[in-house]
Amino acid sequence: MAQKYDRRRYGYTDGSLAYDLDALARERALDDAGRMEQPHREPTPQPKRQPVARPVAKPSPLVLACAVLLTGLVVLLLMGYVRLTQVNTDISEMKSEISQLEERQVALLTQYEKTFDLATVKRVAEEAGMKKPTSGQVEYLELPSSDSAVVYRGDAGTALENIVDSIAAAVSSVVEYFR
């Protein structure tokens, strides 16, 4: 039998190149000879199975509460990111505004210093027609008494108002003493 398969595999021809058409039929007949014939049966129709209706699963309240809590936390997280973005935008705007204001401050300080620069003041005064006073134009005053000033009230009140003011001053000084 191994010889038969070797012939087919390696193209053994027995001297004739004509193909043996009956070889396949003989092989099939030899293979079928050892088998018992089974009567041909029609398959019995299987009854159609109805899908069994499953009861609707109701989630527990704990699962629903956790889902609602998780959804709330996600929304809170997203709102936090939105707020963080707004704050970052505000901070960057404020930083740019601060840098602009610092530049403006430097410009204003420079302008201020130019205004009070002695050379500039002297030049502007000379352009306006001012000149230094001569020694004949300067006078010095010397006062024999110490430096003091007396202020007279122009809206001096009546005697009754003066008494009320002095009592109020006395009461306020007593209250201040005990504090």
| pLDDT for the residue numbered 36 | 62
Q: Is the pLDDT of residue 14 over 80?
A: no
Task: Give the tens place of pLDDT for each residue, 82-132.
Answer: 999 999 999 999 999 999 999 999 999 988 887 777 888 888 889 999 988
As a whole number, the mean pLDDT across the chain is: 81
Indicate the DSSP class of residue 55.
P
Indicate the DSSP class of residue 116.
T
Give the amino acid at 127.
E
Name the 3-class secondary structure at 17.
Answer: coil
End-to-end CA distance of the chain: 131
Select the more confidently predicted residue: 145 or 17. Answer: 145
Alpha-carbon gap, residue 66 to 73, rounded angstroms: 10
Name the 3-class secondary structure at 83.
Answer: helix
pLDDT > 90: what percent of the chain? 32
Rounding to the nearest 10 degrees, give the CA dihedral for residues 104, 105, 109, 110: -30
Nearest to 115 by CA among 123, 105, 127: 123
Alpha-carbon gap, residue 125 to 104, rounded angstroms: 28
Residue 79 CB contacts under 8 Å (≥ 6 apart), including other chains: none
Rounding to the nearest 10 degrees, give the CA dihedral for residues 112, 117, 123, 124: 30
**Residue 112, both tokens:** 């201020």
Alpha-carbon gap, residue 4 to 159, rounded angstroms: 154
